[in-house]
Homo-oligomer: A and B are copies of this chain.
Amino acid sequence: MDFKLTEERQMLSDTLRRYLSDKYDTKTRNAILESDKGFSDEIWTGLAELGVIGALFSEDDGGFGGGGFDIAVVFEELGRAGVVEPMLDSAVLAGGALARIGNSAQKAHIESLIGGETQLAFAHAEPQSRYDLSDVQTVADTQDGAVLLTGRKAVVMNAEAADWFVVSAREGGEARDQNGITLFLVPADSDGLTIQGYPLISGGRAGEVTLDGVQVPESARLGMPGMAFPVIEEAMAAAVVAQLAETLGAMGTACELTQDYLVTRQQFGRPIGTFQALQHRMAEMLIEMEQARSAVINAAGHIGSDRVVRERHISAAKSLMGRIGRLIAEEAIQMHGGIAMTQEYELAHIAKRIVMADHRFGDQDFHLERFLDLSVA
């Protein structure tokens, strides 16, 4: 066992933190939040140039990382600064699926993704599916060499900016069967693909994507027909690790802001950090932070393990973070008082990132139940 970061990862982490502290202060980020696009091309390009996107892919795929701890190191820093750029959805989720299942032609998009020129989106979840990965009702109908995609995809992150969609559709099996699901690579400008876009409370934008008989060639199919579920689950596992690390970074910022506030804010003629009730609650937050950090390490460290071991750690960490994240966000706000309720204060956005993370990839109850199922399995 070894708990030290490699030099390369430590360097990447330091560089990224410096870049974001220079380029991504609250004012800049809040302007990005209110922009029509919802993220900044300049920052996106900047991150690409730093090699942040490349760090999320293996050397075979033209990157220089792609492991669980590569993802964790990058996203903890992104989370620390409350970055809203669509790194998780474009690179880890859509890009990750492509890297796992795509053929060399299809993988060509990864190079331009790493370069920062291409944006991807992962169109999988549907209005009825909530957090159930196998609940796919969008259908793929193949007729002489062409595939027709019909269905609706819900809350698709980065939909409006995406050049390509990785779309899941059913080519066999019943609704909620794991078998029968296929992934397709679909151009954003396809006829019959429409997007109703909207902003998200924790930043960035998403959209309801309607596929009304969207026609793609069979070459758009990723992997074998109906065999995509394991790939979706693996890509999701990587995405969960990314989101957990991002949330951990945001929680770190919430704690930092609170600690600073406790020692500077004066009430009753003394810093409020001298009141023992707040001291103990701050201590409890830091104790839970250690738990959260270890949970993220467990998830990142088992991303390459066999399914049950991997998913058990994923669900344990996701459920734990949902619980601890809420505690830390709420306590940070409460100990600040009114100031944390204002949009212009950094914690407001950070707290929203932390809490809303429990609304993606399954919340703490979903993963509690899943952990139990995997434990008896």
Q: State the A residues within 8 Å of B (CB).
A: 275-277, 279-280
Query: In the complex, how many angstroms separate the beta carbon of A286 from the nearest chain B beta carbon?
Result: 15
Looking at chain A's contact residues, is the secondary structure mostly helix, strand, loop, or mixed? helix
A278 to chain B: closest residue by CB: B276
Docked Cα-Cα span, A162 to B277, in Å, equals: 51
A279 to chain B: closest residue by CB: B277
Query: In the complex, how many angstroms separate the beta carbon of A96 from the nearest chain B beta carbon?
Result: 40
Q: Across the A-B interface, give the 6 residue pairs with the lowest CB-CB distance, nearest first.
A: A276-B277, A277-B280, A276-B276, A277-B277, A275-B276, A277-B279
Task: Give chain B residues whose Cβ lies under 8 Å from the Cβ of A280.
Answer: 277
Query: In the complex, how many angstroms separate the beta carbon of A337 from the nearest chain B beta carbon?
Result: 16
Docked Cα-Cα span, A275 to B276, in Å, equals: 7
Query: In the complex, how many angstroms separate the beta carbon of A9 from the nearest chain B beta carbon?
Result: 39
Task: Give chain B residues whose Cβ lies under 8 Å from the Cβ of A279.
Answer: 277
6 sample A-B contacts, Cβ–Cβ < 8 Å, listed by A number? A275-B276, A276-B276, A276-B277, A277-B277, A277-B279, A277-B280
Docked Cα-Cα span, A277 to B278, in Å, equals: 8
Docked Cα-Cα span, A277 to B276, in Å, equals: 5
Docked Cα-Cα span, A295 to B192, in Å, equals: 58
Task: Give chain B residues whose Cβ lies under 8 Å from the Cβ of A277.
Answer: 276-277, 279-280
Query: In the complex, how many angstroms separate the beta carbon of A36 from the nearest chain B beta carbon?
Result: 46
Task: Give chain B residues whose Cβ lies under 8 Å from the Cβ of A275.
Answer: 276
Docked Cα-Cα span, A277 to B277, in Å, equals: 4
A274 to chain B: closest residue by CB: B276
Docked Cα-Cα span, A277 to B275, in Å, equals: 8
Query: In the complex, how many angstroms separate the beta carbon of A291 from the nearest chain B beta carbon?
Result: 20
